[in-house]
Amino acid sequence: MRMAIVGAGWAGLAAAVRATEAGHDVTVFEAAGMPGGRARSDDASDGATDNGQHILLGGYTCTLGLMRSVGVDVERALLRVPLRVTYADGAGFALAPTGPRLLAAARALLGARGFGLVDKLSAIAMARDWRRRGFRCPPSMTVADLLHRAPTELVRRRLVEPLCVAALNTPMAEASAGVFLAVMRDSLFGARDASDLLLPQRPLNPTKVDQYIADHPGWSKILDAAGFFDVFAAPWFAATYLLLFISLIGCVVPRLKAHGTAMLSAPPAVPRRLERLPSADSFSAGGTPEQVAAGSVRRLRGWKTVTRVEDGGVVTVAAEKGYLRETGNLVFHAALVVLLVGVALGKLWGYQGTVLLTEGQPGICNAVPLYDSFRPGKLVDGSGLAPFCIDSLDKFSVDYDPDGTPAQFRADITYSLGENGAARKDVLEVNHPLRVEGVRVYLVGHGFAPRFTVTKPDGTGVKNLSAPFLPQDPRTLLSEGTVKLLDTVKPQLALYGTFAPFAALGPDGKLTSLSPQPGNPGVAIQIYRGDLGVDDGAPQSVYTIDQRQVAIGALKQVATAQLIPGKAVTLDDGTKITFDGYSQWATIQVNHDPGQTLVLWAAGAVVLGLLLSLAVRRRRLFLRITPAPTPNSETVDNSAPVDDGARPDRDARSVVAVGGLARTDAGSFGTEFARVVEQLRDPSPVRKD
């Protein structure tokens, strides 16, 4: 049978799959340019933008079955985490992953933070009522009707409403109570893992990967199975990281043992033929071998020495120094292990959120949905973030040098801690973050948001209408952006154009900027009227207009204008658009890195160990002191180093043979060896201390 299915959303695609499996010839019709309904990806703007990649629940057995039937590896494509609802002020609840579902739900409600005893008992009574009625209700009942009497306002607002919007993507006043109860039955009160959240681990449309898969269907299956399309989540990458740890530890531990043994052991015995060593010398000294040896040991401060007596009255001195070289090597490798541990802590439990804030507009709390971009660590599920809010960007200011170059950036902010925390003030500057609740808040960028007033022919309108414009030239902050009026005027309006902090006209007659310093602000705008295309479910950039709407004639350009503050342009229908000036915006980045301190100390130890290993040389020095025949008293040389200045035997004389070698970096040892020999020749007495 030939079958037509209208709509390529989840429902339409599911019907198409089942019909195809049943042997029908299926054609799917979709008005949009791509399948997926609300869950799809848009390539119209710069890069791919995912829209509506919904969080699934473990109880969605039919959806998961459909995914498996079309070849999706659900276990790899979705991350399974226990259900947890957390608000920025720390309130919320978590559902235990073990135990009977009804008992687990009761424990979650009783242990919920931010709810009073009356709220908790009301929630439990509500759940019992759902269960008593068999999770059924009249078909026409909405979720708002279902909750008309039972729960408290806090339970409605912070428990049921978030669950309703998350599960049905519909507000309570419109959502079907029957569908909602079915979801609650199959998830919160269903199987043990039915309430788990299933988080997508891949973007909907990674363009280059899709193209490679299309071009190399055979190889792509092998590479995908091996994890090459998601390297950092691949088992072999984790194994490589682990092997690096093991190899470093395997290098450090044996060397640490050997180094400890060497430091506790005496220097080796003195060789018989010192003249064969790379550096060798000899001289005659007055005194017995014992006296000469004792004086030499005192001159070899900083050397580890041992004196030995051999047959024939020969005394030897073995000296060694430079153990810090190997100590530095060990510190370097051990610190490298600690450094990798710190990096791993940050990648697993750290997160980074970025948001753009405009002067005078509301700020955000530290919650995932409120960020423009959020990059969590592998073990961060978005709950339990530090409870604080950046309430507002009060003022952004820039100090400029005489030549117009920015010299200092300053963002005055108001922030608060926890639930109902008092407002606090702080100043963000470059490399001067706000440190609060274990996170650092950085100032990482800024720009301008031109302000407009739109006055309709009847005199009503909107004041201080603005949107951030993105810098296109970092030297002059010439910026582009779009201000969209969606519901305040009909048909819709869009002001697309350029903002110049220090406006001037270029040779081509177009608006340009001479400086980033806002001394003569101006805008050049193109005004569009019609359907902006924001109501059809397709994602679009807030900084541009959808050119597809222009191409099909749904959005038409009706005017252009170049304006300075206070000037206006009037459209053909009498609508007046006035350029009021500008506000400034700042990009704020919130970083949490639990391994930061560990990485800092480890990095310092790495540098210290490297410096020690490069600056210190391991070397050995050997002295063989042999008694010489006693000459006539007139020719005795009493210029040898003797024991603590003690008077040498006038008839005693010794021959001192000196040899040395460097175990590493022997190139400069000759100079040091000559200097040490000269010290040993020095006849001045040596103090014991």
The one-letter code for the residue type at 106 is A
The mean pLDDT value for 633-650 works out to 48
Largest CA distance in the chain: 130
Choose the weakest-confidence range: 250-259, 358-367, 408-417, 667-676. 667-676
Choose the weakest-confidence range: 362-366, 416-420, 612-616, 634-638. 634-638
Predicted local confidence at residue 667, as pLDDT: 61
| pLDDT of residue 643 exceeding 80 | no
Residue labelled with tokens 């279902």: 146
Please report which residue ranges of 491-544 form alpha helices under DSSP H.
none
Q: Classify residue 122 by burial, with Cβ atoms within 10 Å: 0-12, 13-18, 19+.
A: buried
For residue 125, give the nearest of 161, 101, 154, 152 by alpha carbon: 152
The mean pLDDT value for 26-48 works out to 67
Choose the weakest-confidence range: 192-196, 243-247, 384-388. 192-196
Q: Is 327 left (phi over 0), alpha (psi -120 to 50) or beta?
A: alpha
| pLDDT of residue 198 exceeding 60 | yes
The mean pLDDT value for 337-359 works out to 90
Handedness of CA 381, 384, 386, 389 (dihedral sign): positive
| pLDDT of residue 324 exceeding 60 | yes
Model confidence at 145, pLDDT cuts 50, 70, 90, reads confident
Residue labelled with tokens 């989840």: 10
Average pLDDT in the chain: 83
* Token pair belonging to 95: 């559902």
Task: Please indicate whether residue 442 or residue 206 has the higher confidence score (pLDDT).
Answer: 442
Predicted local confidence at residue 317, as pLDDT: 94
559-584: string of b/e by CB count within 10 Å (b at 16+)? Answer: bebbbeeeeebebeeebebbbbebbb
| pLDDT of residue 576 exceeding 80 | yes
Percent share of the chain, pLDDT over 70: 87
| pLDDT of residue 18 exceeding 80 | yes
Model confidence at 88, pLDDT cuts 50, 70, 90, reads low
Predicted local confidence at residue 587, as pLDDT: 93
Model confidence at 567, pLDDT cuts 50, 70, 90, reads very high
Which tens digit of pLDDT belongs to each residue from 529-547?
998 887 665 666 788 888 8
Predicted local confidence at residue 403, as pLDDT: 81
Which tens digit of pLDDT belongs to each residue from 580-589?
999 999 999 9
Choose the weakest-confidence range: 160-169, 244-253, 507-516. 160-169
Predicted local confidence at residue 634, as pLDDT: 44
Predicted local confidence at residue 665, as pLDDT: 63
Predicted local confidence at residue 87, as pLDDT: 67
Which tens digit of pLDDT belongs to each residue from 456-507?
888 888 888 899 999 998 889 999 999 998 777 788 899 999 999 999 988 8
CA dihedral (482, 485, 490, 495) in degrees, to 10, reads -30
Predicted local confidence at residue 369, as pLDDT: 79
Predicted local confidence at residue 671, as pLDDT: 86
The one-letter code for the residue type at 347 is K
Which tens digit of pLDDT belongs to each residue from 250-304?
888 898 888 888 888 899 999 988 999 989 999 988 889 999 999 999 999 889 9
Choose the weakest-confidence range: 338-342, 452-456, 574-578, 648-652. 648-652
| pLDDT of residue 396 exceeding 90 | yes
Model confidence at 599, pLDDT cuts 50, 70, 90, reads very high
The CA–CA distances, whole Å, from 582 to 448, 465, 519 equal: 7, 10, 12
Choose the weakest-confidence range: 30-39, 284-293, 355-364, 546-555. 30-39
Model confidence at 50, pLDDT cuts 50, 70, 90, reads low
| pLDDT of residue 429 exceeding 90 | yes
Predicted local confidence at residue 635, as pLDDT: 42
Model confidence at 633, pLDDT cuts 50, 70, 90, reads very low
Task: Please indicate whether residue 232 or residue 500 has the higher confidence score (pLDDT).
Answer: 500
The CA–CA distances, whole Å, from 1 to 18, 22, 25, 308, 615 equal: 13, 10, 6, 104, 83
Model confidence at 174, pLDDT cuts 50, 70, 90, reads confident
Predicted local confidence at residue 460, as pLDDT: 86
* Token pair belonging to 356: 């753009």
The mean pLDDT value for 551-575 works out to 92
Predicted local confidence at residue 58, as pLDDT: 78
Predicted local confidence at residue 10, as pLDDT: 77
Predicted local confidence at residue 42, as pLDDT: 59
Choose the weakest-confidence range: 43-52, 166-175, 426-435. 43-52
| pLDDT of residue 632 exceeding 70 | no
Handedness of CA 676, 680, 686, 689 (dihedral sign): positive
